[in-house]
Amino acid sequence: MIVLGIETSCDETAAAVVDGEGRILAEAVQSQTDEHQPFGGIVPEIAARAHLAQIDRLVTTTMSKAGVSYGELAGVAATAGPGLIGGVLVGLMTAKAISAVHRLPLLAVNHLEGHALTARLTDKVEFPYLLLLVSGGHCQLLAVEGVGRYHRLGTTVDDAAGEAFDKIAKMLGLGYPGGPAIERAAKSGDAKRFDFPRPLKGKPGCDFSFSGLKTAVRQAAEALPPGALQDSDVNDLAASFQTALVDSIADRVKRAVDIFRNAYPAGTTLVASGGVAANSALRAALSATASRASMTLVAPPIALCTDNAVMIAWAGIERLKLGLIDGLDFKARPRWPLDPTAPKATGAGIKA
């Protein structure tokens, strides 16, 4: 069972060919960092045009590297949402064209499910498991019961963690993408210099909030002596911010672990996925949290934490095995929650 995967939901154009045993036969990722860097963040129109310019070449190159013909594919999978709708449409329409021309099953994949199932590709994790999905646009805790079966325990009530990284990096002049830039600066900084708040720490529930933390960092930066921030100031602000954010996430995860272990006694794995899961400080904190609860932390390789087509191909394989095939009329979705029954987050401190 060999599947071609296509990912275009944000600022990486990617294609991959994966087989049913989890072997990555070929993959390619074209970053758009240079295009978006002058703006300090992602510009949707620029992203969509870049996807359109690169997708055909990437698919052709990836298929060639894999040494696989379209006739040997069992299906073609593409991110159908959530994400920047212009980019999502580029990838999904490409997959639909391949599906129609070569008479292949179409697998319209939820981008978040791609992240959620990556640990099953890399570590053969069994259901159920607790998932921390933490990326540029999402910050959620979910009980993963099976393919297409997710129960959300908590979500962000304002910004996502990755968004906070990007905005703080821009504020401090560290550039884009913000996550790696903050982590690099933090290594040379004093994390104890600034006592930033740990949003919602100690509060009931498993929701996240990062808006107040961003405000605290801005206020601290503005309170420093007039003039350009010194390198030491930037490094200390980055380190203090990263430590506060990691502490906050670890507290929320600890609460989710307690809920998860009570509801799913057989579940012994904590999975961290999404771009922010590549952060080494966060991985260390999550490892300690999992260890205290007699759980195992599984975090995919960094290259498979950020957006990639391998996870989309694998999610397609998981769905194809269950006969979950989609029609060519499937519509791209800018929003697509993994747990559609979960209540909408309404603001910091609102939920008990």
55-102: per-residue pLDDT in tens?
Answer: 999 999 999 999 999 999 999 999 999 999 999 999 999 999 999 999
Q: How far is 58 from 53, CA to CA, in rounded Å?
A: 10
Confidence of residue 174 (pLDDT cuts 50, 70, 90): very high
Whether 138 and 81 have beta carbons less than 8 Å apart is answered as no
Residue 267: pLDDT above 70? yes
Q: How far is 214 from 171, CA to CA, in rounded Å?
A: 10
pLDDT for res 39 = 80
Between 32 and 141, whose confidence is greater?
Answer: 141
- Could you read off the pLDDT of 286-325 as tens digits, one per residue? 999 999 999 999 999 999 998 999 999 999 999 999 999 9
3-state secondary structure of 281: helix
The answer to whether the pTM exceeds 0.95 is: no
Ramachandran sector of residue 43 (left: φ over 0; alpha: ψ -120 to 50; beta: rest):
beta
pLDDT for res 74 = 98
Whether 291 and 301 have beta carbons less than 8 Å apart is answered as no
Between 77 and 136, whose confidence is greater?
Answer: 77
Whether 3 and 74 have beta carbons less than 8 Å apart is answered as yes
Confidence of residue 352 (pLDDT cuts 50, 70, 90): very low
Beta bridge partners of 179: none
Spell out a b/e string for 5-44, using b for 16 or more CB atoms within 10 Å of the CB, else e: bbbbbbbbbbbbbbbeeeebbbbbbbebeeebeeebbbbe
Residue 180: pLDDT above 50? yes
pLDDT for res 346 = 62
3-state secondary structure of 6: strand
Nearest CA-CA partner of 251 in 214, 217, 294, 292: 292
Residue with token string 């379209």: 70
Half-sphere exposure (Cβ direction) of 261: Cα atoms closer than 13 Å: 15
Expressed in percent and rounded to 5, the helix, strand and coil fractions of the chain are 45, 20, 35
Residue 350: pLDDT above 50? no
Confidence of residue 351 (pLDDT cuts 50, 70, 90): very low
Whether 17 and 25 have beta carbons less than 8 Å apart is answered as yes
Domains of the chain, CATH where assigned: 2-116+306-321 (3.30.420.40), 126-299 (3.30.420.40)
| Burial class for 74, CB neighbours closer than 10 Å (0-12, 13-18, 19+) | middle
Q: How many CB atoms lie within 10 A of CB 323?
A: 7
